[in-house]
A and B are shown apart, each in its own frame.
Chain A
Amino acid sequence: MDRLGEIHQLLIPLSGYTITINLEVLVMTGIVFLLALTFGFVASRQKKILPGKLQLIGELIVLTFFGLTEEALGRTHARTYAPLICALFIFLLISNWLGILPHLEEPTRDLNTPLSLGILGFVVAHYVGIRNKGFKVYIKSYFEPVFFLMPLNVIGELAKIVSISFRLFGNIMGGAIIILVVSYLTYSILLPPFLNIFFGLFVGTIQAFVFTMLTVVYISVQLK
């Protein structure tokens, strides 16, 4: 039970403020980067017409997300943004699956990871909006349908960051809590491996897909 509140932190005092660095998340994010890079390297090292297993998985992910992005953003924009979307999905997928392995935990269990990815998606979407519509039309879109709804429109946009990041955080953290409680109640006998598979593989995959698709959707809303 006590493992939940336990966080290894590095505190750096800096003229009155304290910078807190969560070491565990840093290490875990590093592991995810390493795994993703290794996967990408190995899968694309020997490209063949008849793909091997890893190349097949890589092609499946890339083609699926290129297709989905193209459907939502159109061909020209898809060429620009689909690599980002693919990378986001692969990172989230490996992150959410990491907790299955003993002694490792999902970097997405810390709110900072989903929040920074959510802000990334938000910034990209609004950059696309400004570039595509021009600054004037972009600003004008906040004053529609009536000018005094402007503050609510701004809050509505900002709430998207909150909803996308807290959805991922809540699901991964909630899964971790359930696994811990059940292991505690059943003395880790039978159920925890099943729960690990359910929350790690099943819910983790769904949430990675949902997060990625919502980022695509946010970009496509700004394009119109």
Chain B
Amino acid sequence: MTLLGLDNLTLTQTAAYVGGAAAMGLGAIGAATGEGFTASRASEAIARNEEHAGDIIKNMLVGQAISESASIFSLVIAILLLFMDMPDPGIVKAASLLAAGLCMGFGAIGSGVGAGLPAGRSCLAIARQPAVSGRITTNMLIGTAVCQTPAIFAMVVALILLFKPAGGAAAFPTSAALIGAGLSTGLAAIGSGYGGGMAAGASCEGVARQPETTTAVTTTMLVGQAVAQTPSVFGLLVSFVLMFRSFPESTALSASVGLLSAGLCMGLGGIGPGIGNGMTAEGAVRWVARRVDYSGDLMRIMLVGQAVSQSTAIYAMVVSLVLIFVV
């Protein structure tokens, strides 16, 4: 079977190039925005506290280096897509390469922007409390590193999509399922990455405000980020089902559209709850720094609030699973 009258090799190569462009083009959005935010906050911080300009610039550069990692993942996937060998060209391989590019491209947006937030806010925090700049930088490094998790999920899915042998799978609906798998993890990572960044940003401010609460603030931040990553774990789950379940051949339009729609549903549905969970974690972390004696109460209400605001992501996962297994 051929698509658009192209032979298999041309089709696969076209898909690989479009995928590579999407991976790098979309993947640059997040890191660039995040690093810009960091630089703007660093300038503000230096204007407030010139004597510690050295510390602030050092912190800014370290933070930007970490925000950049999401777009470096995109670069790796894009280069692989451009120069990889194509062992078994065909519609399935073409779909899987395009999906790998889309997955990494979308997946890098949230983590890039998100990692910029703690980096920028830690610069302001150092301007305010230069005595604990070491502690602020350490806290920022932990926060930004955890922000990268959704982008790492996207990279894992993209790598599997790149190297998964197309084998003898039927062109339809398998190719639609693979594109759905890419979109599911990629889009769902946007919300979780950004949300994790909000929590980490608040924790840098909190450390500067009350340096003696660092342990409680970092713990709350890590718990909040871990829960905010749940929507992207759901996205990963749906992607895996879509990638590794073998679908019976069917050229019916509805079979293909249904699987694509399953990925799209989970991907889009993960964005909002990821951001919302991040907001909750941000609020909790900010107030743990101010009222550390009530950190237990705050942690509990944060967990309950996050769990409830995740329910729409869970409905999206259920609709996706129904689209895959029932319809």
- For A160, A175, A178, which residue has the most chain B Cβ atoms within 10 angstroms? A178
- Given the complex, which residues of B lie within 8 Å of A217, measured CB to CB? 304
Known: A213-B307, A217-B304. 19 other contacts (CB 8 A): A5-B244, A68-B300, A159-B315, A160-B311, A162-B314, A162-B315, A163-B311, A167-B310, A170-B233, A170-B234, A170-B314, A171-B230, A173-B237, A174-B236, A177-B240, A206-B303, A210-B303, A213-B304, A214-B308
Tell me, rounded to whole Å, the shortest Cβ–Cβ distance linking A32 to chain B.
Answer: 23
Tell me, rounded to whole Å, the shortest Cβ–Cβ distance linking B19 to chain A.
Answer: 20
Show 10 residue pairs from A and B whose CB-CB distance is below 8 angstroms, ordered by the A residue. A163-B310, A163-B314, A170-B233, A170-B234, A185-B156, A185-B159, A203-B226, A209-B303, A214-B304, A214-B307
- Asked whether, in the complex, the Cβ of A167 is within 8 Å of the Cβ of B300, the reply is no
Cα distance, A198 to B240, chains bound together (Å): 20
- Asked whether, in the complex, the Cβ of B233 is within 8 Å of the Cβ of A171, the reply is yes
- Given the complex, which residues of B lie within 8 Å of A175, measured CB to CB? 233
Tell me, rounded to whole Å, the shortest Cβ–Cβ distance linking B107 to chain A.
Answer: 14
- Asked whether, in the complex, the Cβ of A159 is within 8 Å of the Cβ of B244, the reply is no
- Asked whether, in the complex, the Cβ of A177 is within 8 Å of the Cβ of B237, the reply is yes
- Asked whether, in the complex, the Cβ of A177 is within 8 Å of the Cβ of B303, the reply is no
Cα distance, A178 to B237, chains bound together (Å): 9
Q: Is B113 an interface residue (CB 8 A)?
A: no
Q: Which residues of A approach B to under 8 Å, CB–CB?
A: 1, 4-5, 68, 159-160, 162-163, 166-167, 170-171, 173-175, 177-178, 181-182, 185, 202-203, 206, 209-210, 213-214, 217
Cα distance, A178 to B240, chains bound together (Å): 10
Tell me, rounded to whole Å, the shortest Cβ–Cβ distance linking B37 to chain A.
Answer: 28
- Given the complex, which residues of A lie within 8 Å of B223, measured CB to CB? 206
- Given the complex, which residues of A lie within 8 Å of B307, measured CB to CB? 167, 210, 213-214
Q: Which residue of B lies closest to A182 (CB)?
A: B156
Taking residues whose C-beta sits less than 8 angstroms from the other chain, chain B's interface range is 20 to 34
- Interface 1/0s, chain B 294-320, versus A by CB < 8 A? 000000100110011011001101100
Q: Is B84 an interface residue (CB 8 A)?
A: no
Q: Which residue of B lies closest to A202 (CB)?
A: B226
Q: Which residue of B lies closest to A173 (CB)?
A: B237
Partner of B314, one of A68, A167, A210: A167
Q: Is B160 an interface residue (CB 8 A)?
A: yes
Q: Is the interface of B mostly helix, strand, loop or mixed?
A: helix
- Given the complex, which residues of B lie within 8 Å of A177, measured CB to CB? 236-237, 240
- Given the complex, which residues of B lie within 8 Å of A214, measured CB to CB? 304, 307-308
Tell me, rounded to whole Å, the shortest Cβ–Cβ distance linking B18 to chain A.
Answer: 26
- Given the complex, which residues of B lie within 8 Å of A170, measured CB to CB? 230, 233-234, 237, 314, 317
Cα distance, A185 to B244, chains bound together (Å): 16
Q: Is B227 an interface residue (CB 8 A)?
A: yes
- Given the complex, which residues of A lie within 8 Å of B310, measured CB to CB? 163, 167
Cα distance, A163 to B314, chains bound together (Å): 6
CB under 8 Å from chain A, chain B span 139-181: 153, 156, 159-160
- Asked whether, in the complex, the Cβ of A178 is within 8 Å of the Cβ of B315, the reply is no
Q: Which residue of B lies closest to A170 (CB)?
A: B234
Cα distance, A174 to B234, chains bound together (Å): 7
Q: Contacts A68-B300, A177-B240 hold; do A206 and B314 have CB atoms under 8 A apart? A: no
Partner of B304, one of A1, A5, A173, A210: A210
Q: Which residue of B lies closest to A163 (CB)?
A: B311
Cα distance, A175 to B236, chains bound together (Å): 10
- Asked whether, in the complex, the Cβ of A181 is within 8 Å of the Cβ of B244, the reply is no
Tell me, rounded to whole Å, the shortest Cβ–Cβ distance linking A136 to chain B.
Answer: 29
- Given the complex, which residues of A lie within 8 Å of B234, measured CB to CB? 170, 174
- Asked whether, in the complex, the Cβ of B311 is within 8 Å of the Cβ of A159, the reply is yes
